[in-house]
Homo-oligomer: A and B are copies of this chain.
Amino acid sequence: MNQYRVLIDANDEKGLVHKVSNIFFNYNLNILSNSEFVDKELNKFFMRSVVEGAINKKELGVAINTVLPENASVKIVEPKKKNIIIMVTKELHALGDILIRHEAGELEANILAVISNYDKLESLVGKFAIPYISISHEGVEREEHEKKIIECINSYEDVDYIVLAKYMRILTPRFVEAFEDKILNIHHSFLPAFIGANPYKQAYERGVKIIGATAHFVNNNLDEGPIIAQEVIHVNHAYSWKDMQRSGKDVEKVVLSRALKLALEDRIFVYENKTVIF
């Protein structure tokens, strides 16, 4: 018995659920869970099914492809640990939350390495027997610095996701393109409010009554990639921006870990700079 996640992304047309469920039925597959969504405006169909049965991956993929319209995408994914690399700067909370969840067995992930532009978090990461690679940006051109990081990442095989757990430097288009749709970031504001530097200070100055955090895939426009998860907390006039920053950390770590879990479980479809999440 094999278990697969079947991920379908197609132009919508009548009968898609029928045709796909027909295949599941004919192959005598057990459907463990099933989610569909049709974007009526864009006429797009999305489906995520978890199925179980005596069939191999390739055969199932071929069978499903035959009933789908042209240009459809089918992915058959076996549930297994994905390989991730975490990038950080100096802050501990988001990284720490991932390390603890990893230790608890909550994440379907192997953490291949933690890369940082500082050595500050080396001692923490070392405790968990995970490689920590410090690549300082000081005295180095931005391009050169990124080149070193890319080389470091590429020295690992099969990297599924790069998780920016409060990596506080802007990535160049070259970097983003090298790892398209593979970079998750946590931005410490409720996007699209307070794009850019020091969002808590911006929030403080605007006098907002709620602050938040946003996990998103990274694309070439700063803080404008597809949003995966957002969460907020209430604040009031008594919060300095330092207080907002402190309280915000709890939201940041929760939202990033939630988004990472969704990615690891193949629950996210990206299209038109948005996400469908099952």
Contact surface of A with B, Cβ cutoff 8 Å: 14-15, 17-18, 21-22, 24-25, 28, 30-31, 34, 36-41, 92-93, 96-97, 99-101, 103-104, 106, 124, 127-128, 190-194, 206-210, 212, 226-232, 236-238, 240, 246, 250, 254, 272-277
- CB of A189, distance to nearest CB on chain B (Å): 9
Contact across chains for A25 and B36 when beta carbons are under 8 A apart: no
Contact across chains for A207 and B92 when beta carbons are under 8 A apart: no
- CB of A71, distance to nearest CB on chain B (Å): 20
Known contacts A17-B17, A127-B127; decide if A96 and B92 are in contact (CB<8 Å): no
Closest to A203 in B: B192
Contact across chains for B17 and A34 when beta carbons are under 8 A apart: yes
Closest to A126 in B: B127
- CB of A51, distance to nearest CB on chain B (Å): 11
Contact across chains for A277 and B237 when beta carbons are under 8 A apart: yes
Extra contacts, 20 of them, besides A14-B30, A92-B103, A207-B272 (Cβ < 8 A), are A14-B28, A15-B25, A18-B18, A18-B22, A93-B104, A190-B193, A191-B193, A191-B206, A192-B193, A193-B193, A206-B227, A207-B227, A208-B227, A208-B230, A209-B228, A209-B229, A209-B230, A210-B232, A237-B275, A250-B254
Contact across chains for A236 and B277 when beta carbons are under 8 A apart: yes
The docked-state distance in angstroms from the alpha carbon of A206 to that of B73 is 24
Contact across chains for B41 and A240 when beta carbons are under 8 A apart: yes
Chain B residues within an 8 Å CB radius of A15: 21, 25
Closest to A97 in B: B100
- CB of A107, distance to nearest CB on chain B (Å): 12
Chain B CB within 10 Å, residue with most, of A18, A21, A41, A127:
A18
Known contacts A37-B237, A190-B190; decide if A100 and B104 are in contact (CB<8 Å): no
Chain B residues within an 8 Å CB radius of A31: 14, 17, 38
Contact across chains for A104 and B92 when beta carbons are under 8 A apart: yes
Contact across chains for A18 and B14 when beta carbons are under 8 A apart: no
The docked-state distance in angstroms from the alpha carbon of A36 to that of B31 is 12
Chain B residues within an 8 Å CB radius of A272: 207
Contact across chains for A191 and B208 when beta carbons are under 8 A apart: yes
Known contacts A22-B18, A190-B190; decide if A274 and B103 are in contact (CB<8 Å): no
Known contacts A31-B17, A36-B34; decide if A273 and B207 are in contact (CB<8 Å): yes
The docked-state distance in angstroms from the alpha carbon of A31 to that of B47 is 15
Chain B residues within an 8 Å CB radius of A191: 193, 206, 208
